[in-house]
């Protein structure tokens, strides 16, 4: 029983991992049962279920207690992590229980991201497996610094001390190349409870703590190698004194009233005048506390900003290198724009280069052009505006980010910042006296990018050609950019894989942008199959400047036209990655102009575009 | 961030800067453990307020809701709680709950919306006669969906905890719901670090659970430490009950029809979990204060949901309810 007020009671978040039959459920279930954390009614139900469905003979089958969702069992899917709770008088435990079989990388990374400690199970009889090595490497990458190796099923090796010593020695040798601070090992029999909560009577040679004793006493490691103070601004509110208060939390270090702070992104400095923690005003706050801070000066600060002490500011950059773990079925594509979330800041980000993949078993670099689910890669990323961060190895809270798929909203990638790239900060945009509006005025026209998207053979180029002639007759300066033409030059190095298509459209968008900047009306014909990339191109242009034209032709009609014989080749299995056949086309949701090509002749459709451009005041004569 | 608490961590020793935080701790009556859970919840509540256009706080009037309200006060102090508060009223709640709800609404100046599935009432849906499965679906699940649609809330914040029930153990803190508020286990987003993905499409909504990592004991210890008001039904008192199928059902008003063999009797009881009175089983207990409850919980071995008659309808029932849009 714990004392009524046990202020010293802390908590440990740990991850339990192991291969399928290593006995993880039995171990966690036993820890919960023996600390009195399983209510009697659930325990009775468990005993009942064990008799009916159990796979453990006369013993309680704890796997049934921890078993997941009906949907998982029926559909054979795995939801990454289940959380378990148990506690003793000294400590509360939050266990991230990750399934050992499928998608181990994704699941383990998710579980490890919030853990301070890991319990790694191995089977005494099989010893270390490839899985053990993978698990260790992921734990190391995610910044877990203390681990416990539980060598289970010791009864199957006659509870032999020598056997345990051999496995432990092997393990220590292996993990020496990783970055753990502390590695402990305990011989156990989870099924019978040896060395779980009570010392084993069969392994008297083992003098160390039981698993529970170890969990209760292991220091709650903060991971933070660096205790530099960081305060994350969540929102700006009005305080009692009528001033501006910054509501947020301290992720590392501490702040005192009177401290000089720097706002990381802007570099502006000020002094902390007040700190509020409901219901009172206090002098200082430390890591793990939420508070509202008031500053002495009027400084422009918004959600997403980080305060630091002025002598230890985080890095600020819009390009950086990072390890990225991919979590989604849609592969990571360099060049594609994702939404990046770091701390309380959200920005758009692109992987500018995938340097290499990482083999999770050997740790060796592999060649990679995309990352599939469960892959780990080392990448350069660029954000649309600078972000503040610390290297992940120094600070887990300011060095971790997620990448969100902008189309589906899925959390697609998990990233850990390694170091900033300062290339962009050396570049300063040159501004010239003669600018876009001047050039446009000289031509007496309004620059625009008219972007025709649609299936191959939908009629994009045909209509574009007619539109350009009509514009020229009105004296409007135009330029036509065409997918095929660009691929003969600038994009000669690109193929038709998903990754190359993304880059193809990105480059085309940049060229169009330069030409619009020159004051032209740029007509672009690109299949540009993905919504995400068309959206990225749109975002690179001024508002109202990008006009999306959906050339909407049914696939069957495109196939009968097929002037390049592309569909025929695809159907014959002689061409791959043909949009509409074995590569997807995502139609625009809200195009500025929607041409249903079956409703008119090419000339009528071109007139429809002209009419729309006139309505939009792109054509004023 | 939150993992960094307590600040006396591993390698760092009790030196100057940690001394400061130790002083902070001595002022607070919270354990390190509760202080950490509290910060986590406050951060989540503020994220929900910042990320969504029309967030709503689900108010069930129970102990978890009381803790949520208290955390909201802390999170947004000195401003008012920035969420509309929604109570799904089945019309069969304990009278004490409604009185408590109205008291809290006045005290905290809450913007309260009470919603009931009127059509179901007209159709004669009844907690006992209709069976608890139909009743729950109509009066809770459908009523909630209806309210979320009518008021176009894009996020609903609730007090559900992962320790309550096995199918909740995999629930996210920010949990996305598809069209019709359905929960699709396949579309659950991995949740890493303390980075909450709040992106939703036009036909999606979010559920936010700031108390995900709390246990029932944590909730009561926090209520004790912070002196948070809760409905008096949690405290033992002589109350009129009827014994039915091994459970003690309180006779809260004249609507509870007794069978000829059923006897009204007074017993010293309290509730561990509150809902609709004909479906909430009381426990025999003499715990008359929060301190007593904490003491009782440290020794008791029955789960709080053992008293909820709606979870035992069928196996995996909670999961099914959730997929239909139940909270």
What pLDDT shows up at residue A621? 64
**A315: Cβ contacts below 8 Å, ≥ 6 apart:** A388, A389, A390, A391, A419, A420
* B17/A247 touch (CB, cutoff 8 Å), yes or no: no
Residue A453 counted as domain residue: yes
What pLDDT shows up at residue B22? 45
Closest chain A residue to the Cα of B214, Cα to Cα: A85
**A24 and A121 together in one domain:** yes
Residue A223 counted as domain residue: no
- CA separation for the pair A131, A586 (Å, rounded): 39
**A196 and A118 together in one domain:** yes
Interface test with A, best of B6, B49, B189 (most A CBs within 10 A): B189
Residue A102 bridge partners (DSSP):
none
- Return the number of other C-beta atoms located less than 10 Å from residue A407's C-beta: 15
For residue A87, give how far its alpha carbon lies from the nearest alpha carbon of chain B (Å).
10
All residues of chain B having their beta carbon less than 8 Å from the beta carbon of residue A401 are: 195
**A443 and A569 together in one domain:** yes
Number of domains in chain A: 4
**A462 and A609 together in one domain:** yes
**A304 and A319 together in one domain:** no
For residue B188, give how far its alpha carbon lies from the nearest alpha carbon of chain A (Å).
8
User: CA distances (Å), B304 to each of A45, B164, B215, B241, B308, in order?
Assistant: 15, 8, 11, 19, 8
What pLDDT shows up at residue A214? 95
In total, the C-beta contacts within 8 angstroms joining chain A to chain B are 253
Q: Which residues of chain B register pLDDT less than 50?
A: 1-27, 311-315
Give domain limits for chain B.
1-30, 31-218+318-324, 232-312
**A202 and A263 together in one domain:** no
All residues of chain A having their beta carbon less than 8 Å from the beta carbon of residue B203 are: none
All residues of chain B having their beta carbon less than 8 Å from the beta carbon of residue A402 are: 192-193, 195, 197
Complex ipTM, two decimals? Answer: 0.83
Q: Which structure tokens are listed for A424?
A: 């962009």
- CA separation for the pair A492, A405 (Å, rounded): 28
What pLDDT shows up at residue B317? 57
* B77/A279 touch (CB, cutoff 8 Å), yes or no: yes
* A290/B185 touch (CB, cutoff 8 Å), yes or no: no
What pLDDT shows up at residue A78? 55
Residue A483 near residue A508, CB atoms below 8 Å? yes
For residue A376, give how far its alpha carbon lies from the nearest alpha carbon of chain B (Å).
16
Cα torsion at A506, A510, A512, A518 (round to 10°)?
A: 180
Interface test with B, best of A73, A247, A415 (most B CBs within 10 A): A247
The CATH number for A404's domain is 2.40.30.10
* B319/A69 touch (CB, cutoff 8 Å), yes or no: yes
Residue A118 bridge partners (DSSP):
A15, A147
- CA separation for the pair B71, B59 (Å, rounded): 13
What pLDDT shows up at residue B14? 37
Q: Closest to B6 (Cβ–Cβ): which among A10, A249, A256? A: A10
The CATH number for A79's domain is 3.40.50.300
What pLDDT shows up at residue A483? 85
User: At A144, which helix (H) or strand (E)?
Assistant: none
- CA separation for the pair A16, B98 (Å, rounded): 44
Q: Closest to B5 (Cβ–Cβ): which among A36, A288, A401? A: A288
pTM: 0.83
- CA separation for the pair A491, A481 (Å, rounded): 12
**A559: Cβ contacts below 8 Å, ≥ 6 apart:** A457, A567, A571, A580
Residue A263 counted as domain residue: yes
- CA separation for the pair B278, B2 (Å, rounded): 41
**A142 and A27 together in one domain:** yes
Q: Is A566 helix (H, G, I), strand (E, B) or coil?
A: helix
Residue A2 counted as domain residue: no
Q: Is A159 left (phi over 0), alpha (psi -120 to 50) or beta?
A: left
Residue A281 near residue A292, CB atoms below 8 Å? no
**A281 and A411 together in one domain:** no
**A265 and A342 together in one domain:** no
* A1/B298 touch (CB, cutoff 8 Å), yes or no: yes
**A348: Cβ contacts below 8 Å, ≥ 6 apart:** A337, A338, A339, A340, A383, A384, A406, A536, A539
Nearest by Cα to B83 from B35, B47, B39:
B47
- CA separation for the pair B189, A70 (Å, rounded): 18
Task: Transcribe A231-250 into DSSP letters.
Answer: EEEEEEEE-TTSSEEEEEEE
**A484 and A582 together in one domain:** yes
User: At A377, which helix (H) or strand (E)?
Assistant: strand A376-389
For residue B39, give how far its alpha carbon lies from the nearest alpha carbon of chain A (Å).
6
- CA separation for the pair A202, A189 (Å, rounded): 10
For residue A221, give how far its alpha carbon lies from the nearest alpha carbon of chain B (Å).
5
- How far, rounded to the nearest angstrom, does the alpha carbon of residue A571 sit from its chain's CA centroid? 37
Residue A210 counted as domain residue: yes
Give me the sheet containing B55-58, strands edge to edge.
B112-115, B84-88, B55-58, B155-157, B205-208, B174-177
Nearest by Cα to B164 from B224, B206, B214, B228:
B214
Residue A66 counted as domain residue: yes
What pLDDT shows up at residue B318? 59
All residues of chain A having their beta carbon less than 8 Å from the beta carbon of residue B246 are: none
All residues of chain A having their beta carbon less than 8 Å from the beta carbon of residue B38 are: 290
Residue A412: domain span: 315-423
**Domain B31-218+318-324, what fold?**
Rossmann fold (3.40.50)
What residues of A act catalytically? Answer: 528
**A252 and A319 together in one domain:** no
* A7/B301 touch (CB, cutoff 8 Å), yes or no: no
- CA separation for the pair B176, B199 (Å, rounded): 9
Domain termination residue (choose one: A275, A291, A309): A309
* B29/A232 touch (CB, cutoff 8 Å), yes or no: no
**A444 and A419 together in one domain:** no
Burial class (CB in 10 A: 0-12, 13-18, 19+), B133: middle
* A409/B204 touch (CB, cutoff 8 Å), yes or no: yes
All residues of chain B having their beta carbon less than 8 Å from the beta carbon of residue A414 are: 190, 192
pLDDT tens digits for range A108-146 = 888 899 999 999 999 999 999 888 888 898 899 999 999
**A203: Cβ contacts below 8 Å, ≥ 6 apart:** A154, A159, A161, A187, A194, A195
User: At A316, which helix (H) or strand (E)?
Assistant: strand A315-326
User: CA distances (Å), B9 to each of A219, A227, A267, B218, in order?
Assistant: 6, 11, 30, 22
Q: Which residues of chain A register pLDDT less than 70?
A: 1-7, 53-58, 65-80, 100-103, 221-226, 423-430, 621
* A40/B24 touch (CB, cutoff 8 Å), yes or no: no
- Return the number of other C-beta atoms located less than 10 Å from residue A580's C-beta: 22
Residue B241 near residue B282, CB atoms below 8 Å? yes
């Amino acid at each position: 029983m714990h004392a009524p007020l046990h202020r010293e009671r802390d908590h440990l978040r740990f991850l339990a991992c192991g291969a399928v039959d290593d006995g993880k459920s039995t171990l966690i279930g036993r820890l919960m049962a023996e600390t009195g954390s399983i209510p009697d009614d659930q325990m009775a139900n468990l005993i009942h279920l064990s008799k009916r469905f159990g796979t453990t003979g006369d013993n309680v089958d704890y796997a049934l207690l921890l078993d997941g969702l009906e949907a998982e069992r029926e559909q054979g899917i795995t939801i990454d992590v289940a959380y378990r709770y148990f506690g003793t008088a000294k400590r509360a435990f939050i266990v991230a229980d990750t399934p050992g079989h499928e998608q181990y990388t994704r699941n383990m990374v998710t579980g490890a991201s919030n853990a301070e400690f890991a319990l790694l199970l191995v089977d005494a009889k099989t010893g270390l497996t490839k899985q053990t090595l993978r698990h260790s490497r992921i734990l190391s990458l995610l910044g877990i610094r203390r681990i416990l190796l539980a060598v289970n099923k010791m009864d199957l090796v006659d509870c032999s001390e020598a056997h345990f010593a051999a496995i432990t020695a092997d393990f220590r040798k292996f993990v020496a190349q990783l970055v753990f601070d502390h590695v402990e090992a305990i011989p156990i029999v989870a099924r019978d409870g040896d060395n779980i909560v009570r010392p084993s009577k069969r392994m008297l040679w083992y003098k160390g703590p039981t698993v529970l004793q170890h969990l209760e006493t292991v220091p709650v490691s903060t991971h933070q190698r660096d205790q530099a103070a960081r305060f994350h601004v969540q929102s700006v509110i009005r305080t009692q004194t009528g001033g501006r208060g910054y509501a947020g939390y301290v992720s590392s270090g501490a702040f005192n009233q009177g401290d000089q702070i720097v706002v990381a992104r802007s570099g502006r400095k000020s002094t902390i005048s007040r700190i509020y923690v409901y219901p009172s005003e206090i002098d200082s706050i430390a890591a793990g506390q939420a508070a509202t801070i008031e500053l002495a000066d009027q400084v422009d600060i918004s959600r997403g900003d980080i305060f630091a002490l002025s002598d230890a500011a985080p890095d600020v950059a819009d390009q950086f290198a990072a390890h990225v773990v991919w979590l989604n079925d849609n592969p990571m594509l360099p060049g594609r724009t994702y939404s990046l979330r770091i701390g309380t800041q959200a920005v758009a980000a692109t992987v500018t280069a995938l340097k290499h993949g990482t083999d999770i078993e050997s740790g060796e670099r592999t060649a990679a052009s995309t990352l599939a689910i469960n892959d780990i890669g080392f990448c350069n990323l660029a954000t649309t505006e600078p972000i503040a961060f610390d290297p992940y190895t120094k600070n887990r809270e300011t060095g971790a980010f997620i990448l969100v798929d902008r189309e589906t909203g899925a959390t697609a990638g998990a990233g850990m910042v390694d170091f900033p790239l300062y290339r962009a900060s050396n570049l300063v945009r040159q501004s010239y006296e003669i600018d876009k509006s001047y050039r446009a005025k000289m031509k007496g026209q309004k620059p625009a990018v008219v972007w025709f998207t649609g299936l191959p053979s939908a009629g994009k180029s045909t209509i574009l050609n007619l539109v350009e002639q009509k514009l020229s007759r009105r004296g409007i300066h135009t330029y036509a950019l065409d997918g095929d033409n660009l691929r003969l030059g600038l994009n000669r190095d690109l193929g038709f894989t998903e990754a190359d298509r993304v880059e193809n459209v990105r480059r085309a968008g940049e060229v169009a942008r330069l030409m619009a900047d020159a004051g032209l009306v740029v007509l672009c014909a690109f299949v540009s199959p993905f919504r995400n990339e068309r959206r990225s191109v749109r975002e690179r242009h001024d508002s109202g400047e990008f006009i999306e034209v959906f050339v909407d032709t049914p696939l069957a009609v495109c196939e009968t036209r097929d002037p390049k014989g592309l569909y025929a080749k695809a159907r014959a299995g002689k061409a791959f990655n043909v949009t509409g056949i074995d590569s997807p086309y995502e139609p625009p949701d809200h195009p500025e102009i929607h041409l249903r090509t079956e409703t008119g002749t090419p000339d009528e459709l071109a007139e429809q575009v002209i009419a729309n451009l006139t309505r939009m005041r792109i054509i004023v004569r | 961030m939150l993992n960094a608490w307590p600040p006396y961590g591993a390698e760092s020793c009790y030196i100057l800067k940690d001394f400061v935080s130790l002083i902070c701790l001595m002022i607070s009556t919270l354990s390190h453990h509760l202080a950490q859970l509290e910060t986590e919840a406050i951060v989540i509540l503020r994220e929900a307020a910042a990320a969504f256009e029309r967030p709503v706080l689900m108010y069930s009037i129970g102990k978890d809701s009381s803790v949520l309200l208290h955390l909201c006060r802390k999170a947004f102090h000195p401003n008012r709680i920035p969420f509309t508060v929604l109570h799904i009223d089945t019309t069969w709640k304990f009278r004490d709950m409604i009185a408590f709800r109205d008291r809290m609404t006045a005290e905290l100046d809450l913007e309260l919306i009470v919603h009931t599935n009127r059509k179901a009432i007209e159709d004669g849906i009844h907690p006992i006669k209709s069976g608890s499965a139909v009743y729950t679906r109509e009066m809770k699940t459908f009523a909630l969906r209806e309210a979320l649609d009518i008021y176009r809330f894009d996020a609903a914040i609730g007090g559900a905890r992962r320790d309550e029930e096995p199918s909740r153990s995999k629930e996210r803190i920010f949990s996305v719901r598809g069209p019709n508020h359905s929960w699709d286990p396949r579309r659950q987003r991995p949740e890493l670090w303390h980075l909450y993905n709040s992106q939703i499409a036009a036909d999606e909504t979010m559920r936010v659970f700031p108390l995900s990592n709390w246990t029932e004991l944590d909730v009561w210890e926090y209520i004790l430490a912070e002196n948070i008001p809760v409905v008096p039904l949690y405290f033992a008192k002589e109350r009129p009950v009827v014994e039915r199928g091994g459970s003690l059902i309180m006779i809260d008003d004249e609507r509870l029809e007794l069978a000829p063999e059923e006897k009204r009797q007074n017993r010293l009881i309290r509730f561990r979990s509150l809902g609709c009175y004909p479906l909430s089983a009381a426990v025999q207990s003499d715990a008359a204060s929060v301190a007593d409850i904490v003491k009782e919980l440290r020794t008791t071995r029955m789960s709080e949901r053992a008293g909820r008659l709606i979870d035992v309808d069928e196996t995996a029932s909670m999961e099914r309810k959730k997929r239909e849009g139940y909270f």
